[in-house]
Structure 1
Amino acid sequence: MNKIRNNKKTIISWAFYDWANSAYNLVITSTIFPAYYTAITSDNNNSTVDYVDFLGFKFVNSSLYSYSMAFAFLIIALISPILSSIADTKGNKKSFMKFFTYLGGLACCGLVFFDQNSLTVGIVFFILATLGFWGSLVFYNAYLPEIATIDQQDIVSAKGFTYGYIGSVILQLICFAFVFFPSFFGLKNEGEASRLSFFMVGVWWIGFAQIPFLFLPRSKQETKNISGNIFTDGFFKLKKVWDHAKHMKYLKRFLFAFFFYSMGVQTVMLVATLFGEQELNLGTEKLIATILILQLVAIPGALGMSYLAKNKFGNVNVLIGVVIIWIGACVGGYFVETEIQFYILAGMIGLVMGGIQSLSKSTYSKFLPQNNTEFSSYFSFYDVTEKVALVFGMFSFGFIGELFGMRNSVVVLASFFIIGLVFLFLLKRAEPKTLKAVA
């Protein structure tokens, strides 16, 4: 394993998976799909609430979007312990990465059939694409401590996010050309251009994923046989991880902090476009351009936070600063009224959104026992924590929004960040001497 760690070709191939799958994160969850979904489920009357019928029930359209994602995250949280248990036993993380990649990529291709008359089909493919994206990350993240030593994990994690932003922006620009100039490409309208963009995301994702599939190493656990019950072993391993974490105050407090601020981070990123569309009535072109700028700002943000964490302040101090910025962004979101204010808020979020994700992952990786071989179980715990947080975050956003309006949902997100901040301060008090560089 030491020969694998810090190998340049291995690290680049690992980062290319971010290049491959981040197109989903940008096009499907952040820009074109939310705008398209809002357009085909709206009556274009700003004085009314837009409702949709799904499986015999009536929902506010934005709430159905939130509930669909919450459902997908719940499924991932339930099945990832089982999958990571098998991956640890057989050493086949790459096989599971492939399965979820093909599931997500093909589901994105299936969204080409999503229109006003096929809401159920669209939501099902949307859920499957979400399952594919987040399911693959369980095993992608588990590779980090296998391919990088503890002193390199911040920069390697940031490199993955950087590759992801660059790759996703390239495809996004191609999709923009289709959406903004559909007739030039022989397309009927923006709707057809949007559906073509969803298809291209699937092709891009599956195509570039072949690079990590070709070069990422096979784990040394490949020769082991499965013992015990594969449907329960994963949950026993998660309990084992938690039992271990309970005796490590810094790890336990980090996980609590991560749980609460993740409720806010991912939810904000997933609903930002819906917020701009419904609360500020921004057009599709303005929203998409805003998200593109947001992605470009995120690249120096992620690299800058990695630098500050490694060379200046340590991971925990940087995370504290970033969470404070997120709290300010949520408060600002409640009061934002103009287009300019929205752009300023988007730029602020862009600077910190990539950094908090990459830094959280590398901080957690540093806290793990470095001689451990079952990294999938530890990162399964990390991913389950994040997915359960997302279930609460997306559900609460949709539920509060349905009852009291979307702006009040933003206030709830701010409260999640505040709780996470408290645990980060408690984490500093539990800082072990051997991890001074982290905190």
Structure 2
Amino acid sequence: MFKTLKNKFSTVEWSWIMQDWANSVYSLMITTAIFPIFYKAMTDAAGIADADSTAYLGYANSIGTIFVGVLAPFLGTSADYRGVRKPLFTVGTLIGIFAVLAMIFVPTGNWNLLLVLYVLSAIGFGIANIFYDSSLLDATTDERLDLVSSAGYGFGYIGSVIPFLIFMVIQLSGIFSATTTVNIGFIITAVWWFVFTIPYWKNVHQTHYLERTEGIVKTTLDSLKVSLSELKKYPHIYLFLIGYFFYIDGVGTIIRMATSVGTDLGLSANQLIIMLLVVQIVAFPCSIIYGTLAKRFGNRTMLFFGIGTYIVICLMALGIRTFNDFLVLAVLVGTAQGGIQALSRSYFGQIIPKEKTNQFFGFYNIFGKFSSVLGTTILAIVSQQTGNSLNGVFAIIVQFIIGAFFLYKSKPKETN
């Protein structure tokens, strides 16, 4: 079976896939697992109220995401020029890796510095992914784009679970102090990310490019202006993008803030680790199941089902009292998380004019880069104002409702 799987992809394709395996460790270990736990422990020691510390983390996520989102169209355009993509990818990757390593040296109680490093790591991760995504066409052929892209997505789940399990074993063993254990987690993340990026650096080269020209910023702005003019001709596309922004922003918010909210509820580090592992384990097969069901019931139907699942999650958040309650929500998040992300991309590909794929996917990526800006801000504000982060989770239900509305309005005439 392993040999068959190995032969299914070329060396370059495997190298591209392994980069998803490499960088997904950041998403799980830093964005949703050990960093929020460590951060909350540090703010607790500093006497910061739970709702306030959760709000500060929400603001930090928003700052990092906005920064990358603003840069996305310029960086994405620059990636089309010869000799630009890999150096900028490397810069983003190294910023992320070294920011994670620097967290080890943050003095006890200096949660402000820890949060600054977190923002830097998120910016590095986001920038690197812009160039990683755009290099897919360099790694494979047009006919194999869906296969290779899906494989990267799937192996990303596995690539994040393995180091997470290693960390979990260390955590549960109790061999090291809490601080040392967290520092080991930071080291595992940085080393895993760097080592499994080496195949990408070695084997994925830019084969599609434009020759460099002067005035990249002006060229980008002119291109965006033309694209916006084109977008007006397709109301079902811009209506979908509006809906996508709202509901995928809600999805991203829950991914980023779940651990912090769990800490506010009094869950232990071990319980949070178990909860996050459950999400990852459930998400991998469910993303595949979503794709299978989409063939029978249609993409739109399954997207509505995923949005409905998140609405239920927001409603149930108000009644969370125990670890078991949180575990139920973790399972629900896992069932919808991968599927709603994968089907959003494929549905968008179905409704855009095929001769304008690159142009319109540029808009899709911009909206995606801004995900979890609005939601984290809403969650932060409501948490601070009410003193309860669960109220903040409930508040983002409005995003899923708005997202569903615009998804409904975006139905093109030719779609069944």
Q: TM-score, normalised by structure 2?
A: 0.90
* Residue 3 (structure 1) aligns with: none
* Residue 408 (structure 2) aligns with: 425
Task: Return the alpha-carbon distance in structure 1 between the equivalents of residues 138 and 243 of structure 2.
Answer: 25
* Residue 385 (structure 1) aligns with: 367
**Would you say how many aligned residue pairs link Structure 1 and Structure 2?**
408
* Residue 205 (structure 1) aligns with: 193
Task: Return the alpha-carbon distance in structure 1 between the equivalents of residues 232 and 163 of structure 2.
Answer: 43
CA contact (8 A) 2:137 2:208 kept: no
2:391 alignment partner AA: N
* Residue 54 (structure 1) aligns with: none
Q: Please give the per-residue CA displacement for 1:322-366, whole angstroms capped at 9, x wherever unaligned.
A: 111111111111222222221111101111112222222333345
1:303 alignment partner AA: I
How much does 1:81 deviate?
A: 1.7
* Residue 285 (structure 1) aligns with: 270
* Residue 56 (structure 1) aligns with: none
* Residue 402 (structure 1) aligns with: 384
Task: Return the alpha-carbon distance in structure 1 between the equivalents of residues 293 and 375 of structure 2.
Answer: 29
Secondary structure of 2:49's match?
coil
Unmatched tracts of structure 1, length 5 or more: 1-5, 52-59
Q: Please give the per-residue CA displacement for 1:208-251, whole angstroms capped at 9, x wherever unaligned.
A: 112223333413215x1223x22343233333333222212332
* Residue 31 (structure 1) aligns with: 33
How much does 1:199 deviate?
A: 2.1
Question: Which aligned pairs between 1:134-213 and structure 2 lie closer than 5 A?
Answer: 134-144=126-136, 155-183=147-175, 187=176, 189-213=177-201
CA contact (8 A) 1:154 1:306 kept: no
Question: Which aligned pairs between 1:334-373 and structure 2 lie closer than 5 A?
Answer: 334-371=318-355
1:283 alignment partner AA: S
Task: Return the alpha-carbon distance in structure 2 between the equivalents of residues 249 and 143 of structure 1.
Answer: 29
Of residues 228, 235, 244, the one that matches 1:249 is 235
Secondary structure of 2:239's match?
helix
Q: Does 1:113 align with 2:95?
A: no
Distance 1:103 1:288, change over 3 A: same
What's the Cα RMSD here? 2.6
* Residue 225 (structure 1) aligns with: 212
CA contact (8 A) 1:397 1:406 kept: yes
How much does 1:149 deviate?
A: 7.2
Distance 1:151 1:218, change over 3 A: closer
Question: Which aligned pairs between 1:42-57 and structure 2 lie closer than 5 A?
Answer: 42-43=44-45, 49-50=49-50
Of residues 32, 55, 59, the one that matches 1:63 is 55
How much does 1:406 deviate?
A: 1.5
Percent identical across equivalent pairs?
28
Secondary structure of 2:396's match?
helix
* Residue 68 (structure 2) aligns with: 76
How much does 1:29 deviate?
A: 1.0
1:66 alignment partner AA: G
Distance 1:215 1:114, change over 3 A: same
* Residue 265 (structure 1) aligns with: 251
Distance 1:17 1:352, change over 3 A: same
* Residue 316 (structure 1) aligns with: 300
Distance 1:11 1:319, change over 3 A: farther
CA contact (8 A) 2:101 2:187 kept: yes
* Residue 237 (structure 1) aligns with: 223
Secondary structure of 2:230's match?
helix
Secondary structure of 2:35's match?
helix
